[in-house]
Amino acid sequence: MEEDTINKKNIYNLNNLNNLTENNNNNNNNNNKVSYNVSDLLKKISSLIDTCDYQLALQFSKKALSLENDNLKVLEILGMIEIELEMFDEAREHFSKAISINPNNGYSKYMYMGQLSCGLEAISYFQNGVNLMISEYDNSSKTITTTTTTTTTNSSLQDLQDDESNESNESNKQNQLNRKISNALCSMTEIYLTDCCFEVDAEQKCEEYLNKALELDLLNPEVYQLLASVRLSQQRNDDAKIALEKSLDLWINLDPGHSSIPSYESRISLVKLLIELSQYTKALNVLEILQKENDEVFDLWYLYGLCYFLMGQDSQNEQDRLTHWEDARDCLINYEKLHHKIGSDDEGILQHTQELLQTINAHVKPSLTSDAEEDDGDDDANEVYDDDDDDDADADEWEDFNANQNNHYNDDHQMEM
């Protein structure tokens, strides 16, 4: 039944697309003009992306591509939307086409292709993107130098202030570009730590990329985190701890939402490294921050439970051990509840969670759990999603868009007359 509803919804959207095309064909025949163009569609797509309506954004993007099938901006936006919708094969196709049309400009498409690829192929895409970013970096440096030279020849205070503002903006752009290059080099390092770890020059490449990343951006916490991973693989645990300490210091006290705070996934990886190095208190500090941001993540509760379990295991005091294991059990039970509520493909973590709970329950008396907690989430699971409302909303989007474009055309037509 649900599948039929989804299919009807897709057909409904396609009918709206066809109607929109037919209306524009009629306009073209009657007035020798169309009521919308790719630029109009891109504005609409942008607003849909802002509201995370990727399905409808996909429909508009396909329509834009049908109007201009070699439009680089449309190809890249369509690829980005397809990644959000986990349509990875389609995304690869569109980014590949964008690369074939304009291989020497625009680094973003190479970065996306790197994320969609594996092994040495991914390295190749990232390297091409990095080369383009470095070229842009060099041009940016020249711009700042030119601006500084011009400033010395201007006599008015206003000119000096304007030049300082422009120089500051260029400097900020340069710093942002440095961060992007640095992050790309981190991605390349990570590939040599995983997919390409058996390559003869893997260790050399890791050192090379990280040194370059630090040269460009000493304040990037991601670089120090990857450096810690490399040092761990080299069994240089003390150096790994120093690198993680540096990574943490760069963001741990920043306000929530600050742009310099690493992604959620990156901080989950950080917790794993901290646990591996027995830095349990620091790991718990990071987990508490992550919990406030999103508490419905499998790894969050598994790592919480694992951290408390290992703290108890290492404790020399029996009471401390039991206390830590009680906390571990609560977290691992939360993991099981989340697994039951949402489901997960990672059966390995589920099995390990059950093994840990078995060990804990053999030593710690079960704690009382309220019926309310056991039943938590049942109402959400039984909610009925009304696709008809969504169909109406999509139809309204198309009608409003087409009406607005026709109004713009009528206004312009009257002005011309």
Label residue 222 by pLDDT band (50, 70, 90).
Answer: very high
Distance of alpha carbon 337 from alpha carbon 346, whole angstroms:
15
Q: Judge whether residue 382 has pLDDT over 50.
A: no
pTM for the structure as a whole: 0.75
pLDDT at 417: 40
Give 141-194 as a DSSP string. Answer: HHHHHHHHHHHHH--SHHHHHHHHHHHHHHHHHHHHHHHHHHHHHHHHHHHHHT
What phi and psi values does residue 92 have, to the nearest 5 degrees?
A: -60, -40
Q: In this predicted model, which residue has the larger pLDDT, 408 or 334? A: 334
Q: In this predicted model, which residue has the larger pLDDT, 169 or 114? A: 114
Distance of alpha carbon 236 from alpha carbon 207, whole angstroms:
14
Residue 52 DSSP class: T
Token representation of residue 399: 């009608």
Q: Which residue, among 85, 172, 89, 92, has the nearest Cα to 125 in the 3D structure?
A: 92
pLDDT at 406: 55
Q: What is the CATH number of domain 34-103?
A: 1.25.40.10
Distance of alpha carbon 333 from alpha carbon 113, whole angstroms:
39
Please state the rounded mean pLDDT for residues 297-302: 95
pLDDT at 144: 52
Label residue 340 by pLDDT band (50, 70, 90).
Answer: confident
Distance of alpha carbon 227 from alpha carbon 186, whole angstroms:
9
Query: What are the domain boundaries of the chain?
Result: 34-103, 297-371
Distance of alpha carbon 286 from alpha carbon 46, whole angstroms:
34
The CB density around residue 201, as the number of other CB atoms within 10 Å, is: 10
Q: Which of 91-105, 249-263, 382-396 has the lowest mean pLDDT?
A: 382-396
Q: Judge whether residue 124 has pLDDT over 60.
A: yes
